[in-house]
Amino acid sequence: MPFVVLITGASTGIGNLTARALAAQGHTVYASVRDLAGSDAAHADELLEFGHGGGHDLRVVGLDVQSEASADAAVSTILDEAGHLDAVVHNAGHLGVGYVEAFTIEDVQHLFDINTLGVQRVNRAVLPHLRSRRAGTLIYVGSTTSVVLPPFMGAYVATKAAADALAQTTAYEVGQFGIETTIVMPGPFTHGTEHFPDASHASDVDRVGAYADLDPLVARNEEATSALFPPDVDAHPRAVADEIARVLALPAGTRPFRTVVDFTDAGVDEVNEALRRAQEQFLTRLGFDDLLHVETPGRASSPG
């Protein structure tokens, strides 16, 4: 069944690849970009050309996740044009690289504003509609970094961990209105996205200099990460887009709460399973085990 899907942060990388994959699968896709008339105009044109060339229903909408008004306006546009919305892919995000102490409060606030508060702004825009329909799917592009905690990305990792916790606890509540949640957790990718080229860096240069002894470790970080990939594997972010497409194609009530796309074999699935068991036991002891189940036919999906 084709859906109407909103994807945030679709100008490049995983969001862009997901927009193309879902459109090719037959969905009506609203690929959102932050600066539709400016820096993202060329990306928007490329997406529209892909849609027109393939006969896909791929549309572009402006949405800045740092603005509540922008999120509200984008969702209003979608509802006016399509009449309804079925799924949201929370993909917009920004990477920060550097020594934690060297990130100013403003640096960290900026990352949280995009990666965590951006999710909340979009959810507040879409959830009234999804609740009224008692149906829908929220797909979050999380990160294995919130489990394995790689070095030299501390501020970014904190924002992804916070967004993950927000997604989990939101799932307890919206699941009672038939809204499913899936957290897709990509591992690292050293090519195929603009994540690292566009990353921001800690701005306190004096504090950066104080950690100069660690600079050789930072210099070989990308090489060390690449060495984790098996030599015969194409570690490309299109795999994340394909997984999102697979999840969305599953029948309501059967979508997994978490799914990992990681070519480095970091053991995240094992941690997730331990977390699931602990959550299930804790909520059951509280007497809130009903919150573990999404109120959809079959009640087969669980946010634990």
- The residues annotated with a catalytic role in the active site are 156
Written as one string, the DSSP assignment of the chain is ---EEEESS-SSHHHHHHHHHHHHTT-EEEEEES-TTTTTHHHHHHHHHHHHHHT--EEEEE--TT-HHHHHHHHHHHHHHHS---EEEE-----EEB-GGGS-HHHHHHHHHHHTHHHHHHHHHHHHHHHHHT-EEEEEE--THHHH--TTBHHHHHHHHHHHHHHHHHHHHHGGGTEEEEEEEE---SSSSSTTTT-EE---HHHHHHTGGGHHHHHTHHHHHHTTS-TT----THHHHHHHHHHHHSPTT---SEEEE-TT--SHHHHHHHHHHHHHHHHHHHT-GGGGS--STT------
Quote the radius of gyration of the chain (alpha carbons, Å): 19
